[in-house]
Structure 1
Amino acid sequence: MQDLRIYTRLEVLLELRESGRHIHWSPSYRPAGILSGNHASKLRGSGLNFEELRQYQFGDNIRQIDPRTSARLKKPYVRVYSEETDRPVHLVIDQRLPMFFGSVEKTKSVIAAELAALLAWVALDSGDRVGGVVVGVNGIQPISPQRSANNVITLLEAIISANNQLSLVTDAEPSGSLFAQVKPFLSSLTNQSVVILITDIEGLGETDISELEMLQHKSNFVLFVVQDPLEANLSLAHGLSISEGKEQINIQVNNDNQQKYDALYQDKLQQLTLAMSGSSLPLGLLNTHDPVVNQLMMLLQGHE
């Protein structure tokens, strides 16, 4: 039996659908209409659905006058449209080796998997098409967006497959930032798309934020970053045991190593913080110890 703190399973991700029914997206947090579904949207690139023909009224847009109908009835008639708010939602889920770490309750990779599942169910139940890209140690697996529970399950199965392949014993080479791997995919999306990236502090570089902002002029992005307390304070590791489910080692931290690691991590964190401070990208920070449902609800209410 797998340890659910280290690896996830399909039944866990399926159960999150019920929790997602209680989540409401707050306009104070989401970018203009994120995951808009069947309700009003301000997302760029919105489409229009034809509803009816009716006689022209003062204030109507004259560009919507239907010339054929108006000529036939000898009165001006306009074509009435409603805004089309259906959006393809693309979840980009980081399941690479840096995510395979957790010092408190769960690994970052498990938190990312649960967050992705929760967001996928919320999007589907809002009427949106859901798909995405799972990035793992063996490459990228894309799932085309569809308005279907079966398609969400296909996405979840891809997440689980990548998640369960994570191991401390691996020959996988470092693959650079998450953004570098998925940039060709992101660049191909239309202005109808909503993109949700789920990664950790290693998944994005300072230049990546700038490029994401450029892409945001075409698509709609939101970023979630999963953090572990031990990453920000290595002194917490002293005397702890680390395990990947089968074997474990005890950690002894000396001051020199701690200072070197803390300096590297804080420098990385500062770079990301500075990049995000001037960025229009919505950002949510999650930890590895609180339930994902509670964290997402707090974020969407506008709390840190």
Structure 2
Amino acid sequence: MGDHHHHQVRAEEFEKKAEKKLSGWGIFGSKYEDAADLLEKAANSFKLAKSLSTVNVINVWIVSGDQAGKAYLKLADCHLKSDSKHDAANVYAEAAKCYKKVDTNEAASCLERAVNIFCEIGRLNMAARYYKEIAEYYEADQKIDQAISYFEKAAEFFQNEEVTTSANQCNLKVAQYAAQLEQYEKAIKIYEEIACQSLNNNLLKYGVKGHLLNAGMCHLCKADVVSITNALEKYQDLDPTFTGTRECKFLSDLAAAMDEEDIAKFTDVVKEFDSMTPLDSWKTTMLLRVKEKLKAKELEEDDLT
């Protein structure tokens, strides 16, 4: 407890000195640099107070995370006033780390400020990285709409900087979540585009059948046999090697079961594929949706007879 208390007290002293420095008369331009130096020490002490604490961990996390965050925000302000934009952006990113466990919105807002500065000074690769990080904050918080929006921004920036792998990573997240929200067309477009891009790249070629499988699953979710049949023809034209894959057979067997409205066959096809290649939770969710639609159709027809 002693160490924690010692760092907390030091942090508060540094912060008071910085406040005094900021409110004093600055005859020379060094007022902000001096305050920045003191605030940096304050922020670091607040962080130490947090990590050394074993008593009442959560409260200290929140108090110190919050206080360190606030000290960093003041520090960023000092950097901006002395026109050190790059330093200010880095400090906003540090503030975001402090707020991360405390308040997602505040953490995202700090990173957004960092992004705006990086855009202003032409560091677009940094802006892209932090957009992706904001998306991940929202993803961890299950705020899917915001996550999609920031993954899209990150993808666009990565694409402009020609960092294709990172752009694809972000776009695949957009597709995954769009499909979860039943925005199947949006997801299909992304999976198909990434599959097309990857065909001519020796490193990415191996991923093509996975992207086409995901796109096919989104087609299945629309419960439209014509749509999935056309898609499968298109995919085999696009990539002749797709025809011989288990993924292609899986999709066409599922389409056949759908066409015949045969739930037992559908379930067997899924079980067999899963025994060879375990299905992840996203695919399981998609397949359950298709199965529900099949069941609903069966009930409708029972009612009619």
Both proteins in one fold, TM over 0.5: no
TM-score bracket, shorter-length normalisation: under 0.3
Q: Which structure has greater helix proportion?
A: 2
Query: Which structure has the bigger radius of gyration?
Result: 2
The higher-RCO structure (CA 8 Å, 6+ apart) is 1
Q: Which structure has greater strand proportion?
A: 1
